[in-house]
Amino acid sequence: MEPARPRWSFPTKLTITLLTLAFIVYLLFRFSVVIPPFILAAILAYIISPLAGWFHKRLRLPFVLAILLAYLLMLLAASAFPLVLIPLVASEVSRANVDLANILAPLEQLRTQHVTLAGQTFYLSVLLDNLTASLQGLLEPIISRTLGFVVDVVSSIVWIIFIFIISFYLVKDGEKLRQWVEARVPPAYRTDYIRLRGEISLVWSAFFRGQILLAVVVASIFIAAGMLLGLPFALIMGLLAGLLEFLPSIGHGIWLTLAAILAFFIGSSWLPLPNWLFMLLLIGLHIVFQQVDLNYLIPRIIGRSLSLPPLVVILGIVTGAVLAGVMGIPLAAPTIASARILGRYIYANLFDLDPFAVESAAK
């Protein structure tokens, strides 16, 4: 008969736990470049998984074929979007009566003007020529780095393939992975683990529904405002604003840049304002909306779907931007809601309370 295996003492358990955590932190730091693509792959798998499961059950397809069909439909939808958008753009261009000569006219007028300051006369044509020369000087190094640009493009394609492959296997082996993790949980805590996993899954489902609702609300606001202001391509720009809402920080900058270019070169379709003044008006209104979006719409819509106070969502957005950059902004709210569930569970166990009674009382 083999002797009983000695149990680890508390200091041994504490030492092993701290060393394991330190090793995990080191791995996260060492391979931090892989974390954002893996997160994107996990989000993509989370979105694709219900659709693949539906195909598997309803159409009685093998699960792998159901996954491939779900990805194929997603790619077809992404490809169909430009096919629908291009005729829409053509219709908007013909309706706006955009004339290249009228667009370039303001630049030609600027070249013939001059400004006198402190007795000195500055001809704008000279300033524009100097600006053009400076831009050429800036672009030459960029153009000379064509090989580096090609490498960046290839690298991006590789990361996209990596994301799709990882997400495919996360969907394919998701059930096995859940069972494997569940089997590693001590039997006494297995019920708690399953319940926590379900609550966190509900949080992320609510987040995605709230994000879609936010995009629809923002697109509707921008379409209505664009038509009222006479912004060229108001419908397209409104739809673009809704899509870019998934990138709250960068998205606002991209939209404002495009809108400012349209406002300056084309102007309003009915407001009797100079193009430059219309551009400044548009920039001012967008800055106001950006504050409303970050401080009201996102906290109200996303926060309400996750049962989070608006102030918590605002602070989470700022913290997420500092800690994780662009990706930390949209993922801040569901991460906080998930951490709240885990925090309440830990708090209840520290004080020998029923963790799920504490959760129910908090709601």
Q: Quick: pLDDT tens for 304-338.
A: 778 788 778 778 877 877 777 767 777 888 888 89
99 and 207: one domain? no
Residue 68: what pLDDT? Answer: 92
Query: Considering its fold, how many domains does the chain have in total?
Result: 2
317 and 363: one domain? yes
Residue 105: what pLDDT? Answer: 57
Residue 107 reports pLDDT greater than 60: no
358 and 233: one domain? yes
Lowest mean pLDDT among 18-22, 82-86, 282-286, 344-348: 82-86
261 and 164: one domain? no
174 and 213: one domain? no
Structural domain includes residue 116? no
Structural domain includes residue 138? no
Q: Contact, 195 vs 70, CB < 8 A? A: no
pLDDT in tens, 29-47: 888 888 888 888 988 898 8
180 and 288: one domain? no
Lowest mean pLDDT among 10-14, 71-75, 141-145, 276-280: 141-145
Tokens standing for 49? 């998984």
- Tell me the mean pLDDT in the region 217-245: 90
Structural domain includes residue 273? yes
Which is more confident, 222 or 352? 222
Which is more confident, 298 or 2? 298
Structural domain includes residue 134? no
176 and 298: one domain? no
Which is more confident, 351 or 322? 351
Structural domain includes residue 136? no
Structural domain includes residue 322? yes
Residue 15: what pLDDT? Answer: 92
Which is more confident, 278 or 133? 278
Residue 197: what pLDDT? Answer: 92
233 and 249: one domain? yes
Residue 160: what pLDDT? Answer: 83
235 and 170: one domain? no
- Nearest C-alpha neighbor of 86 from the set 236, 230, 215, 219: 236
Q: Contact, 36 vs 327, CB < 8 A? A: yes
Which is more confident, 73 or 3? 73
Structural domain includes residue 11? no
Which is more confident, 323 or 65? 65
What is this structure's pTM? 0.70
197 and 180: one domain? no
User: 44 lies in which domain range?
Assistant: 32-109+151-184
**How high is the mean pLDDT of the chain?**
80
Residue 316: what pLDDT? Answer: 81
Residue 180 reports pLDDT greater than 80: yes
Alpha helices by DSSP H, 59-189: 63-96, 100-111, 124-144, 146-172, 174-184
Instruction: Give CA–CA dist 200/218, Å, rounded.
Output: 27
224 and 285: one domain? yes
Q: Quickly state the pLDDT bin for 362 (edges 50, 70, 90).
A: low
Over its C-alpha atoms, the chain yields an Rg (Å, rounded) of 27
Residue 363: what pLDDT? Answer: 56
Residue 94 reports pLDDT greater than 70: no
Give burial (CB, 10 Å; 0-12/13-18/19+) of 82. exposed
The dihedrals phi and psi of 230, each to the nearest 5 degrees, come to 80, 30
Residue 245: what pLDDT? Answer: 84
Of all helices (H) and strands (E), which one includes residue 123? strand 120-123
Bridge partners for 120 per DSSP: 117
Q: Quickly state the pLDDT bin for 228 (edges 50, 70, 90).
A: very high
Q: If you count them, how many residues does the chain have?
A: 363
Q: Contact, 178 vs 193, CB < 8 A? A: no
Tokens standing for 233? 């391509």
Structural domain includes residue 323? yes
Which is more confident, 252 or 84? 252
165-199 burial, b at 16+ Cβ within 10 Å, e below that, comes to ebbbebbbebeeeeeeeeeeeeeeeeeeeeebeeb
Residue 142: what pLDDT? Answer: 47
264 and 333: one domain? yes
Residue 361: what pLDDT? Answer: 55
